[in-house]
Amino acid sequence: MYGAWQNEGHVRDKWLAQRRIQEQAADFADQAAVRSAIELLTGTLSDIVLEINSDMTIMTTGSVMHDSFFGASVGGKNFTELACPVDRDRLLELLQRASRSHVLESCPMRLVRHSRDFEAQVMAVAVLCKVPLFVVGIREEHNSTQESAAGDVFAYSLEDDNDDKRQAEGLADGMLQGVHNNQASDLRSQGALSLGESLGTNRTERIFSDLAKVSTWDGGVDPLVQKRLRQVCELGCTEHWLLAWDELEIPSPEEAVVLGKGGFGVVLLATFHGCQVALKLPTTADGVAPARSLPSFANELRMLRRLRHPKVVLFYGAVIQPDLGVVALVSEFVDGTTLQSAATSKGQPALGMPERWWILLDISKALRFMHGQTPEILHGDLKGCNIMVEYHPVRAKLLDFGLARLHKKGMRPLGGTTRWRAPELFWSRGRAATPAADVFSFGRVAFLTLTGLIPPAPPIKHANDPNSLVDGAETSEELWAFAWPATAVSSMKQLLGCS
């Protein structure tokens, strides 16, 4: 009898212990959900979000985004070290208010970055859990009389480059670098500043031009490349397009949906904060991206970070790992197919002639926007595979700016795909590039769109040398011309009301 009673007590104690564990697990799950919701809310109002213990230690560690924002590793530091001495009491008071009210409290104050002060709005909320925790959001405040936006942060990154050339170049574009992004937008709308100028400022020019020269690395990523990529991280943090891997949901290789493949990488369907996006990744070997993919990815990032037009695929941001030489691009997912597939009706609904004209109109709008900048932006690889078509309604968007160029003195030779390339690019080996090269490619895109046929190959002499033309090709237009099918011509005449 005693043994049965003792066993019953043991079972009861075990049941109570399991119940307490389950209650604690549910409590922790609720706390994690609340904490996640608070971080999401704070993140929508802030440039950066940190988790801080009750002893003011920063819990967030190992994040390129956070380290780039402050210009140094902040994980494990005391948060008061990031505030100006005169505002540390105000910071402590803010956290005390947050712990009492349990709602989002905010206060303007000055924080420290690169030993320099900057204005910020600091928001804090206390998370109700057994371990005291604060979620703190920081939004940098800009005004015309304070620091020069990207200028101060980015200029500091370049100070150790120790060359007088940068200082001389800085004088030439000093006014431009001193303008904040919002002010630049206002000037651009008044015709005082173009998108091309914002893309081609000397302080960013040097960074991306160095990355464009990368050809190979052995035994790890070149230190200069790592340095330049860290500087690009700082630029991305300032311009608010730098992303972290944990913001993306990437399916396993077995479940991955491949949207496209190219010579330098692959495009996968991923999820970004609950929304489908296109994730462009370089092909990797042993976890390290090959050097040959970096110039293309860096060049596309350079263009897309400021390229905004309804007929150009929307750029959301980039994930950068300087130590591995990796740049991954996150852009809008266009739920459709390439123009080449749509025009040839390969597994796609057939397009009527009016829809085909609308597609060409959309592409021409994108080119008009790009060629209207100062300097002009050349796409450099306009072809059927680099245009996406949606069906409901039918519309087209331009993508893949890996070979794009700013049309100015000293620009790198323009590449492109042989079948779609302008004649002058063959005999000049890409050095005679102008907006007319894109217009020639657009003509071939029009042929594909309206006929459903792939344009014929150019008059090349040697298949192994894409720049070798047959004799007389430089002066003979007949060698470049090709006949349009009679059915396509008839359909176009009917649409245009011609006899």
Question: What whole-number distance in Å separates Cα of residue 66 and Cα of residue 60?
Answer: 8
Of 375, 384, 378, 369, nearest to 450 by C-alpha is 384
Return the SS3 of 346: coil
Q: Note if the bond before 485 is cis, omega within 30 degrees.
A: no
Question: What whole-number distance in Å separates Cα of residue 428 and Cα of residue 436?
Answer: 14
Contact between residue 423 and residue 477 where contact means Cβ atoms under 8 Å apart:
no
Question: What whole-number distance in Å separates Cα of residue 368 and Cα of residue 442?
Answer: 12
Length reported for the chain: 499
Question: What whole-number distance in Å separates Cα of residue 389 and Cα of residue 403?
Answer: 21
Residue 372 C-alpha from the chain's centroid: 23
From start to end of 349-393, where are the E strands? Answer: 377-378, 387-391
Question: What whole-number distance in Å separates Cα of residue 11 and Cα of residue 384?
Answer: 72
Q: Is 280 annotated as a binding residue?
A: yes
Q: What are phi and psi of 305, to 5 degrees?
A: -65, -20
Residue 331 host element (H or E): strand 326-332
End-to-end CA distance of the chain: 109
Question: What whole-number distance in Å separates Cα of residue 333 and Cα of residue 472?
Answer: 44
Contact between residue 61 and residue 53 where contact means Cβ atoms under 8 Å apart:
no
Contact between residue 421 and residue 453 where contact means Cβ atoms under 8 Å apart:
no
Contact between residue 459 and residue 470 where contact means Cβ atoms under 8 Å apart:
yes
Enumerate the known binding-site residues.
280
Enumerate the known binding-site residues for ATP.
280
